[in-house]
Amino acid sequence: MTSDRAPGFSTRAIHVGSEPDPATGAVIPPIYQTSTFAQDGVGGLRTGLGVGYEYSRSGNPTRTAFERAFAAVESAGGEPTRALAFASGLAAEDAVIRTLTRPGDHAVLPGDAYGGTYRLFARVAEPWGVASTTAAGGGPDAVRAALQPGRTRLVWVETPTNPLLGITDVAAVAEVAHEAGALLVVDNTFATPYLQNPLELGADVVVHSTTKYVGGHSDVVGGALVTRAPEAADAVRDPYSEEPLADRLAWHQNAMGAVAGPFDAWLTLRGLKTLAVRMERHSASAARVAEFLLGHDAVSEVLYPGLPEHPGHEVAARQMRLGGGMVSFRLRRGREAALKACAGTTVFTLAESLGGIESLIEHPGAMTHASVAGSPLEVPDDLVRLSVGLEDVEDLLADLDAALAAASA
Ligand SMILES: *Cc1c(COP(=O)(O)O)cnc(C)c1O
């Protein structure tokens, strides 16, 4: 790239980390399916790719290719970023918690979030001595009330939330967290780096389940973290060591070992290259689906941040490029109707997960969010969640129309 123009999102996604292989000219980074690397004398690492490799937990060229591309798309307002790839979204979250907290510390969690995130804090971190409080609604006032200054190390935000599609003003919460000396972590899985860049809004660490839109084809499980690189002007420091946070997270990635394997990193990088075009289509189709549901008699409420009726619409319009591909809705006739709607589609597949090319439908109360029943994160039992895929939208609308007719009969 020789022009002065700063390359756009897709140009970065397609080219950064995917420079032709210096040995063979392969235009796509090979899957370096190897556990170890020969050394030319003790400590003599081969540097044909620019950096030396010694062992694939510590570093693998295919994983590096993905990490470089992902760092290049999760922007921090022009400051350099560092990305780290993990075996799953939850493995990435675990690395954040264990880097940023010690026994006796405290975290503030959102009142609506991925159930597994809540479970990780409440059932894994809590018994090890890291307490947490849920901030109902997740907005700046609720976060301020839940903060314990001097003890709270991190504030966790998910926006849009899973499964209620709630929107949190990231910049406002960043200010509240920073005033109290806490760091802000944002789960950007639903929005993806194409729709929203939390580091630009003041977040310190961004977490992704790349299993979802980034991989995008429902064929790989993975996670990633992004933070400002150590050389960034306002690089964040690790609260316990004063070292750059990016270095501490990378140290934990290797020390704890839950890294992405070469093939998983390769699939995720392939997905990332088409993220922008997929998110445009996911969002356009989801907007059509939300409009359709809004006009349907069987539906009592539609949750989609792209709708002007959504209480978070104004904030979403400010911090997100488009509305995204997730739509949730509630059935007037309750739980039985919701279960029937989930069982009644033929194009939408009844399954957990989201963000793939194919449309999925699920009942969060009995499926993805069953583990938070009885907790502050319990979801309504008349709720249905859709991951709107890339099929022809007319087929999706006809499928939902038929399923809702069967659910109301
Ligand atoms: C799926 C998901 C996770 C967890 O990621 P895994 O890859 O399943 O471990 C975290 N956050 C959100 C918002 C998710 O949808």
Domain of residue 286, CATH code: 3.90.1150.10
Of 251, 273, 295, which residue sits at a domain end? 273
Confirm whether 1 is domain-assigned.
no
Facing residues of 261 across strands? none
Per-residue pLDDT, averaged over 214-222, amounts to: 98
Q: What is the mean pLDDT of the chain?
A: 96
- Is the pLDDT at 122 greater than 60, yes or no? yes
pLDDT given for residue 138 in this prediction: 81
For atom 12 of ligand 1, the residue with the nearest CA is: 114
Of 273, 306, 330, which residue sits at a domain end? 273
Are residues 222 and 136 part of one domain?
yes
Q: State the burial class of residue 103 (Cβ atoms within 10 Å of its Cβ: 0-12, 13-18, 19+).
A: exposed
Are residues 188 and 328 part of one domain?
no
Task: Find the range with the poorest average confidence among 3-7, 8-12, 165-169, 267-271.
Answer: 3-7
Report residues whose beta carbon is within 6 angstroms of any ligand 1 atom: 88-90, 114, 116-117, 158, 162, 187, 189-190, 209, 211-212, 221, 223
Residue 227 tokens read as: 């933070």
Measure Cα distances from 293 to 314, 367, 395, 396 in Å: 21, 22, 14, 12
pLDDT given for residue 2 in this prediction: 61
Residue 406 tokens read as: 């069967």
Q: Which of 161, 189, 225, 371 to mutate to test the pocket of ligand 1 (most atoms within 8 A of CB)?
A: 189
Are residues 225 and 82 part of one domain?
yes
Q: Can you tell me which atom of ligand 1 is nearest the CA of 90?
A: 9
Confirm whether 4 is domain-assigned.
no
Residue 149 tokens read as: 């200054």
- Is the pLDDT at 348 greater than 70, yes or no? yes
Report residue 113's pLDDT band, with 50, 70 and 90 as the boundaries. Answer: confident
- Is the pLDDT at 1 greater than 60, yes or no? no
Confirm whether 2 is domain-assigned.
no
Number of independent structural domains in the chain: 2
Are residues 331 and 220 part of one domain?
no
Confirm whether 37 is domain-assigned.
yes
- Is the pLDDT at 131 greater than 60, yes or no? yes
Are residues 142 and 62 part of one domain?
yes
Spatial distance between the Cα atoms of 166 and 121, rounded to a whole number of angstroms: 20
Are residues 223 and 114 part of one domain?
yes
Which sign does the torsion angle of CA 133, 138, 142, 144 carry? positive
Range of the domain at 24: 9-273
Are residues 369 and 304 part of one domain?
yes
Are residues 297 and 254 part of one domain?
no
Confirm whether 214 is domain-assigned.
yes
**Cβ atoms of 396 and 291 closer than 8 Å:** no
pTM over 0.95: yes
Report residue 351's pLDDT band, with 50, 70 and 90 as the boundaries. Answer: very high
Confirm whether 3 is domain-assigned.
no
**Cβ atoms of 386 and 251 closer than 8 Å:** no
Report residue 371's pLDDT band, with 50, 70 and 90 as the boundaries. Answer: confident
How far does the centroid of ligand 1 lie from the alpha carbon of residue 94, in Å? 12
pLDDT digits (tens, 9 = 90+) for 64-96: 999 999 999 999 999 999 999 999 999 999 999
Are residues 281 and 221 part of one domain?
no
Report residue 374's pLDDT band, with 50, 70 and 90 as the boundaries. Answer: confident
By annotation, the residues acting in catalysis are 57, 114, 187, 212
Of 240, 273, 306, which residue sits at a domain end? 273
Are residues 158 and 67 part of one domain?
yes
How far does the centroid of ligand 1 lie from the alpha carbon of residue 93, in Å? 9
Report residue 377's pLDDT band, with 50, 70 and 90 as the boundaries. Answer: confident
CATH code: domain of residue 164 = 3.40.640.10
Per-residue pLDDT, averaged over 143-150, amounts to: 96
Confirm whether 196 is domain-assigned.
yes
Per-residue pLDDT, averaged over 134-160, amounts to: 95
pLDDT given for residue 376 in this prediction: 84
Q: Can you tell me which atom of ligand 1 is nearest the CA of 221?
A: 7
Confirm whether 288 is domain-assigned.
yes
Among the listed residues 269, 212, 349, the one whose alpha carbon sits nearest the alpha carbon of residue 31: 269
Amino acid at site 325:
G
Are residues 96 and 200 part of one domain?
yes
Are residues 176 and 94 part of one domain?
yes
Per-residue pLDDT, averaged over 351-369, amounts to: 96
Per-residue pLDDT, averaged over 326-338, amounts to: 97
Q: State the burial class of residue 397 (Cβ atoms within 10 Å of its Cβ: 0-12, 13-18, 19+).
A: middle
